[in-house]
Every structure is written in structure tokens, then in C-alpha cells.
Amino acid sequence: MQIIMASLTSQLRQCTIFAALFILLVVSTTSQVGASSDLQDVAMAERHEKWMARHGRVYKDSDEKERRFHIFKANVKFVEASNNVKGRSYKLSANQFADLTNEEFVATHTGYKRDSSELRRSTTPFRYENVTDLPSSMDWRQKGAVTPIKNQGDCGSCWAFSAVAATEGITQIKTGKLISLSEQELVDCDTGKYAQGCDGGLMKEAFEFIKTQGLASNANYTYKAEDSICKTNAESHPAAKIKGYETVPPNEKALLKAVANQPISVGIDADGSAFQFYSGGVFKTSDCGTDLGHGVTAVGYGSTSDGTKYWIVKNSWGTSWGEKGYIRMERDVGSAEGTCGIVKDASYPIA
């Protein structure tokens, strides 16, 4: 091109010839771009079909399919661009949420009540404040205190899953028995101000309920991913009880002391697309906000061979999200709120 430009300026006589050549060049290049983007669309459409088959997705009509295809394509591009960033400590994948916009995803798969409330800000004594000699790593899964990954489905019941996982943990630590407990009972029967079933809630509100009524096992009160009528069976009830709950002071040192002793319910900001498509590695504090919108459970901590410290967090989006349903989130980040706000609303049941 530079040679052409040079001759364009030096040999004005041939100007029109070169101009014609130039136009030809532009036209042919553009049509090639058009053809290759058509090819890309064909490849992307095939990819969408395969993805639909793998995830059993069926759309109601071709308009819906077209709409979902465009969302899928944008998400695949987002995932690939992120995975191409050199040195990024985590990977994304076009997982089962790849045909949902981030707004749709957040609206249906989180459920932490955002309205700030007295309950959210309340504090209590912190029994682990004087704990010293913390192990350098902890994994409550290896200690048998964590049930298999669950799936909240299209229901804003994260708060129930977060509180239940912490309750399952302390119950196993105290009794030696790991019993899967009922999120659905909280969804149906917890009538606290900040417990609104699939419309969201707070973990502390769930602990209040479990403190007064106990909680059924999952086996006796199974999960439906929708609001339904409360039907606690007195005979089988409860499978677990707690004496109450406490809050963790909002800093990473306190959270470490707490997680060293039991699984802890935490609120996080899981709103971004990076979180939606996370598939493994250590998720960085720079890639999320701190506006709490999701409830999960911190079930351990550790550090990678290169020294990056992380929290091990149990999510409730099934096993095909993240590291078999878990996420490792950067720890000791030096900010007051921790990665994705993880220290802002941490609490745990007492058995």
C-alpha cells in the first residue's frame, strides 16, 4: 500500500488508473470480509446448535432462536476475548448460561436482597476473634462437612442455599453426620421480612428461621426451584437445629479465623459476565464490584503454587459451572471489602 501511495503522489499522470485500482482493491477486500464473516456466522450457528443439543435447549419459535443466537454469539465472543488476555488467572467458558444476557442471568440465578436493612448491618459477638495458629490452608470438603453441589435453578433462592450449606457444615462438625438439608422449606415456610422465597432473601433471616423451627432434610422436603405452600411434616422434623448465628466483622482477617473453624455464609457481587461464565482458576478482585447480590458459602482457603491466595467458595449453580460448582476467589487483596465484597456480610450458625 505504501508503495502504491508513494507512486500515487509522485506520478500524478497515472492518478486515475491508480484510483481505479484502489477502488477495485477496496471492493474486493470488503467482499472478502463479508464472505468470511458469513462463514464465521455459519460456524457460530453450528456451535449454537451443538450447544443447544448438549444443554437440551429448545426454543419456542424461530424468532426466539434468532434472538438467542445473537446473545449466544456475543457471549462466546466475550468468553474468547477474556480467555485471550495474557496472564489472566482464570478462564471462562460458554457454559449452560451462554444464551442468557447478563441481566437475565442475574435476575433469575442470584437472589440476595439488596435493600439494606437493619438485619444486614446487625453485629453480634464474634466467637473466633481470639483464634490464633490458623492453618495455612483449609478445605471443609476434605473434612466431610460439605454436601455435593446443588442447583438453585431459575429461582432467586441463593440465600437459602448459602445458609443451608453453612448449617450442614456446623451440623457435621458437631455431630459427625453430613445431612443434606432443605432449601425448599426455607423458600416455602420462612416468612421473615427478608425471606421472600424465589424473590430473594438474606442468610441471617434463614438462620433466624432455623433457630426457631429447625430444618427438614432435603430427602423429606425436596427442592422444586419455585415458591410453593409450606408443608412441614412434624414427624420427620427437624433434621437439624441451630442455637443461633453470629456475624463476622467485615475484614479478611476475621473471615479467615471464621472459615478456619466452619463453613461461612457470605454475600458477594456476582453480577458480571465474567462471573456468569467462570470456569476455573483464581477469580480476581479487579473483575467484579462489591455491591452484594448473591449468597454463597466460603468452605475453605489456600494458595496456589505461585503464591496467589484464594477463598474456596461453594456456589449453587450446578456442577457444570466453575470448578465442578466451586469458585476460587482471590484472598488478601488489601481492600476493605475483599474480592467481590466477600467480607461485607459474612455470618454463620452456632450449633
Instruction: State the catalytic residues.
Output: 158, 294, 315
Q: Which of 10, 84, 130, 132 binds ligand NAG (CB under 6 A)?
A: 130
Site string for ligand NAG, 236-265 (x = CB under 6 A): x--x--------------------------
Of 63, 235, 305, 307, the one binding ligand NAG by CB under 6 A: 235
- Judged by CB under 6 A, the stretch of 20-28, 101-109, 126-134, 303-311 that binds ligand NAG is 126-134
| Cβ-based burial of 279 (10 A; exposed 0-12, middle 13-18, buried ≥19) | middle
> Could you tell me which of 239, 248, 162 has the C-alpha nearest to residue 205?
162
Helices and strands counted in the chain (H then E): 10, 9
Nearest CA to 245 out of 207, 288, 192, 198 is that of: 207
The answer to whether residue 39 forms part of the interface with ligand NAG (CB under 6 A) is no
- CA torsion, points 188, 194, 200, 201, in degrees to nearest 10? -90
Give me the sign of the Cα torsion angle 202, 92, 77, 42.
negative
Helix (H, G, I), strand (E, B) or coil at 246: strand
**Under 8 Å between Cβ of 163 and 295:** yes
Residues touching ligand NAG, count (CB under 6 A): 10
Q: Smallest distance, Å, CB 234 to ligand NAG?
A: 9
Site string for ligand NAG, 189-228 (x = CB under 6 A): ----------------------------x-xx--------
Stretch 263-302 residues interacting with ligand NAG (CB under 6 A): none
Considering only 11, 222, 233, 251, the residue that binds ligand NAG (CB under 6 A) is 233
Specify the residue, 133 or 235, whose C-beta has the smaller distance to ligand NAG.
235
Determine which residue in the list 46, 49, 64, 129 makes contact with ligand NAG, applying CB under 6 A.
129
Amino acid at residue number 228: S
Phi, psi dihedral angles at 53 (to 5 degrees) = -65, -45
| Cα 66 → chain centroid | 27
CB of 236 to ligand NAG, least distance (A): 3
- 55/127 with CB nearer ligand NAG: 127
- Which residues contribute to the site for ligand NAG (CB under 6 A)? 127, 129-130, 217, 219-220, 233, 235-236, 239
